Amino acid sequence: MTVENFLNYKPEDYYRRRGWLLGDGKCGGKAKGLAYAHTVLLDSDLKDKVELPFLSHIVSTEVFEDFLRSNGLEGLYDEEDWEQVQRRVAAASFSDAMKSDLDRILENFEHIGSPPLVVRSSSLMEDSVDLAFAGKYDSFFSANIRDLDWRVTKLEECLRAVWLSTFNPSARKYRTKHGKLHRDESMAVIVQSMIGKDRNNIYYPKLAGTIFSRIFRRPSPRIQKEDGLMCICFGIGTRAVDRGAARSFYLTNPALRPSGNSPERIAGSSQEFFDYIDRNAGDFKTGFIRDWLAVFADNHKDLDQYIEFYDEDSNMLLPYSFYSAMSGTRPLISFPNFHKRQVYLFSLAHDLIDLMESRLGLPVDMEFTYDTTSRDFRLVQLRPLTHFQEMSRVEIPTVPPEREIFRGDRMVSNGRLKHVPYLVYVEPLKYLNDWNPALAARAVGVLNDKLKGTRYILAGPGRWGSRNPAIGVPIQYGDIYNCGCLVELSAPQFNFNPELSYGSHFFLDMDSDNILYLPVFAGQSNNIYALDWLDNTDYDLGAHPAVRVYKGDFFVYLDGESERGLVYWDDE
C-alpha cells in the first residue's frame, strides 16, 4: 500500500454511514486516522484483537464555522489578543438546533451505559502527513452524569473549549512557522466514549499509552530507529504524551530504561500520580498513588507488575508490598518486570506496527488503552509519524577543552548548527531560589519572540516543558519554537535530570521543527557542563534572574551514529 491510499481516504463516508456525523463539513485529521485504522483492522488478522472506542460522534467543521458566523466571530482568525479571544468565545451562544443535536448525541451514549466522554480536537491540519500539531489543540473530559441538562451543559463547555483552542497562541505560532494561513484552519470535534471501568466511583483505564513505529532519538546504539517504542502509564493517558513519567519500552529491548537502572534515577522518572474521572464530583482529577493503594488492591490483582517502592534512605527499590508503604517509602508506578509478564501486549504492538505501516505507507504513531486482565486493547488514535530528514553522519570536531560548553553521549540525532549568535541559559540555583517558574517560562518566551529569525541555543535544568516546575521550566511550545538546539542539563543535587524517553508531544514538536536536542549529565564520563565558563563569561539578564543571554559565535555538532554531541564557542 502507498500513502496515496491514506491521503485519498474519505472519513466522512465512514461516519455518515453509522449516523455519527453532525453537519456536512469535514471530519478533520484525528477522526480520519481513527476511521482509516478501523477500515484497515476489519480486513486484517487483528480484527478480533484490536477494537476502537464504542462510539465516536463527529461534530464537523461546518458546525464550527456556523458557530463562528452566527456569533460574529470570523475575525478571531486575525485577533492576536488571546484574552480578548477567550472573552468573545465565552460570550458566544449555541443555537437551539445545535442544542437539540447535542441532546441526540447524549441519548446515543445512554444506549451504552452513559460512560464518561472524551471531547477531542480534530482540525483540518491536525495529524496530517507533514505536520502533527501534537498537543496544539485541546481535549476535555465530561463525567457524563446526572440529568440531561447537566450533561448537555458540560458537553457545551467541552465543545466550546476545543473550538477556542483553534486560536490559542501555540497553535497560531505553529501555523505561522510552517507557512500555514490561520484562515485555512477549521475545527471538527470527536465526542468519544471513554475507555475504562468504574472502580469505587472513580473511572479510568488500567493502562494507556502510545506506540511509535520509528524512534528518531535513541538513548543507546543498541536501539535502531526501526525497533519501535511503546510508552505506557497507569490511568487516563494524559501522562503518556506529556513530559511526565510514562514508562518507555523499546520493543526489541524492553528491559532497557532510557534513564538508567539506578534506583534514584528510576524514582526520578517514574509515575507517582494518575489521572481519573471522579464520578461523584463529575470532574477530571489527579490522584497521588500513595493515597489510592487500598483502592488499587481491591480492584487490581496484578499490582506487582506496576508498583514498587523506593526507600530514599537506603537508595533501594523494594518489591510491591503494602508493608512497604508503612515504612515511609514512596510507591512508584515503574512497571518492574512488566515486559516479562505481558508478552501478549508486546507481541500485539509488534503486529500492529507491521500492519499499520504497511497499510499507511508511512511510519505511524498510535494511542491506545489496555486492560491486562481482559486483554481488551482499544486503539484510540492513529496518525502519520511526522519526522525530520536525518542528515548524513556528522563529524564531531576536536576543539580545545576551554571552548567546550556542553557535551553529551546519548539520545543524540544527527545535525549541526554553525555561527549561532546567542546562547540562552537558565541557571538552576537561581531558578529555585527566585521561585517563580511561570515568570521564568515567560522570560524565555519573551526572548524567543525577540530572537525570531535567529536560531539560538537554549539550555537549562531538567525537563523543559514538564507540567511539574520542580523538575524543569514549564514552557509551552510557543515559548521556544524559534530555538535551533535545546540542551537539557542535569543538576542532581537539585533533582533536575533530562527526560530521555522519546514519544511525548514535546519531542514530536522538536522533530517536526528540526530542533536539535542534547541531554547532558553533569559529572558523568563523556559529559561536560562548563559551569566555570557560564559563570565567568559576560551575559545579559532576562526578565527572570535565572535567565541569562550570552552573545558570541556558537557551534552545535550532533552525531547520532556515535551518540555524541558538542556545543562550543569560537572567537575566530
Per residue in 343-362, pLDDT (tens digit) is 999 999 999 999 999 999 88
Q: Which residue has the cell 504513531?
A: 365
Q: Percent of the chain at pLDDT above 90?
A: 71
CA distances from 326 to 126, 267, 306, 331 (A): 47, 18, 18, 10
Give the pLDDT confidence of 1-41 residue by residue, as tens digits: 568 889 899 999 999 999 999 999 999 999 999 999 999 99
Q: Using an 8 Å Cβ cutoff, are 196 and 374 in contact?
A: no
Asked if the model's pLDDT at residue 259 lies above 90, the reply is: no
The whole-number average pLDDT for the span 137-161 is 95
Average pLDDT over every residue of 397-403: 95
Decide if pLDDT at 254 tops 70.
Answer: yes
Average pLDDT score over residue span 444-454:
93
Residue (of 569, 477, 488) closest to 132 by Cα position: 477
Give the model's confidence band at 563: pLDDT under 50 very low, under 70 low, under 90 confident, else very high: confident
At 571 the three-state DSSP class reads coil
pLDDT for position 146: 92
379 vs 220: CA distance, rounded Å? 29
- Nearest CA to 118 among 51, 27, 57, 180? 57
pLDDT of 167 reads: 97
- Is residue 183 predicted with pLDDT exceeding 60? yes
- Whether residue 450 contacts residue 421, with contact meaning beta carbons closer than 8 Å, is answered with no
pLDDT digits (tens, 9 = 90+) for 87-137: 999 999 999 999 999 999 999 999 999 999 999 999 999 988 777 677 789
Q: For domain 3-194, give the CATH number.
A: 3.30.1490.20
pLDDT digits (tens, 9 = 90+) for 531-551: 999 999 999 999 999 999 999
**Average confidence score pLDDT of the chain:** 91
Residue 366 forms beta bridges with which residues?
Answer: 211, 382
Does residue 307 surpass a pLDDT of 80? yes
Tens digits of per-residue pLDDT, 46-64? 999 999 999 999 999 999 9
**pLDDT exceeds cutoff 80 at 502:** no
- The ranges assigned to domains in the chain are 3-194, 202-340, 401-570
Using an 8 Å Cβ cutoff, are 51 and 376 in contact?
yes
Average pLDDT over residues 183-192: 97
CB 181 within 8 A of CB 135: no
